[in-house]
Structure 1
Amino acid sequence: MLQRKLEHLACTVAVSAIAAAGLTLAGTKPVLAEFEIQEAGIEKGEVELEYRGAYHWGVPRATDENENANDLVQSNEIELQMGISDWWMISVTSGFDKPLGGDLQATAVEVETQFGLVKREGSGLGLAFQMGYEKAINNHKHLDDAEANQFGFGPIVELATGKFLLTLNPLFTRQLGTYANQEGLGFEYGWRGEYDFTKRWGVGVEMFGEIEDLANAGSFNDQVHSIGPTLFYNLGGNNDEAKGGDDDEGGGGDTKVSGPAEMALSMNVGLQFGLTDATSDTALKFQGSLSF
């Protein structure tokens, strides 16, 4: 009973920390909320509330010569997701951005679904497929600045061995609606290499990028690409093994007992360094989620 009370207190404190971090980011500058790595695992009945945000320094201004520039000073996303079954999950996300020289405002609402194809137990392969529709909010925007609605789809791939986990998120996108301005498909990606040196702490490297139109991709320097280190912390849930898999090479993932989802909190904070002229020089990213 005492252990449960202490864990509840720790979760309460951690949730307060997430809220404080979110308010801090919302009061400062740039962020790409697209700094997200989606995982392949799905748990029936599990509900997760997640905040993602980022703050950018050295923000490039969009011009005729640098039209793909990420001129966001800040972006935030709040997501609610639920596992309908062990192979199907749905989520709803609201986005709030602060462009260079502008005010923080609601920018999009996205509905997404994910299907589990190969369930990973400890070390091995995990595979899922995601797709979603994003409705842009263009209140008070000039026609030239209006954003198109967007449909996206792609696989989620996990490769784990011991305490190491590699996650790949390639995503193809298609603009829809009145403001669509795309000849081919767009392409976004994120990948993460994570090493969990304890059951709760991990370190890793993440990279993100975007090509708005593969038919007119331009040079690498005209695209948005960034890379950087990330620190991870997990509290609660199944602490019997690290996220990357099993401590022992023989694997112990098959011994896990299924049951109701336990309350769990996870956080990560990282730095992203821009690799091109269209990318902000530096971005501080934060992600916090509570699942139960």
Structure 2
Amino acid sequence: MGSICSFSYINCVLLVTLRSKQVFCETSRFILLYNLLFADTAKQVPNLLLYLLPFFRIKVPYSACGLLVVLSVLTESISPLTLAVMAIERYVAVCHPLKHATIFTVRSTGMAIAVVWTFSLIHILIRLFMLVYVIVKIHPNLFVIDICSREAIFFAPIFHDFEKAQASTLFLSVGSIIIGSYIGVALIARSASTDKVSAKKALQTLLLHLVQLCLVLTAPMFSTIIIAMARIVGRLTIIRIYSVGFVFFIILPRCLSALIYGLRDQTIRPMLLQNLCCWWRCSNNLK
């Protein structure tokens, strides 16, 4: 619980930091980072509620649980799609530096973010139709017995097939973009005229993108584990497994952006550390 609050605190400070200077609002990679961080942070609020409900043994109606689950997946597709745009931006920055300022303007970056959110909206509409189907089939006053989760709401096999298909499509498409960008940067890095330092940093960033993508898209695997374990273990054990897995598979991957980008970037890091120290002192003074 403490680690979740700490990560959320750092995410919020970084969001404020990315709006504290004009350069952060006019640079494409910082705009994309803000979008990624905003999506990850927004996902934490319903996720935290889903994490706490089993501990307090709170029974909620299927309709309320379904709404909470839909909110928890509201920005689920945004992170991997934003990672794909960020990978393309790094590729253009290293391989076509003279065209970068023309291709990745504030306007074009905003349009790319709009496309990302549109795809995510389509995903949410599908989820809402699925939720309506569940509520129609089940009495709306029926309470969730064990755990309020996507597994408890979207329990039919067709829903699990949708989860796997959606995760596989995202992983293959975004993974291909990141790997393609990595190969392109790696090839251009061999050129004598290339900035070796920038190319090396871009390669490291793209590798981190790929690792983060793998972590973000582990939710369907987590769902499969929970469903399989629920058939062979008791309620208390499954709640413990769910709690531990929820932190590592659902919460932690969404909290890595601040650590990966906020602390690595030489432009952001001084401002982030300064704001963290300032906020920490203010919170201590209030105590």
Same fold (TM over 0.5): no
TM-score (norm 1): 0.28
TM-score (norm 2): 0.29
* Structure with greater proportional strand content: 1
Q: Over alpha carbons, which structure has the higher Rg?
A: 2
* Structure with greater proportional helix content: 2
Relative contact order, higher structure (CA 8 A, sep 6+): 2
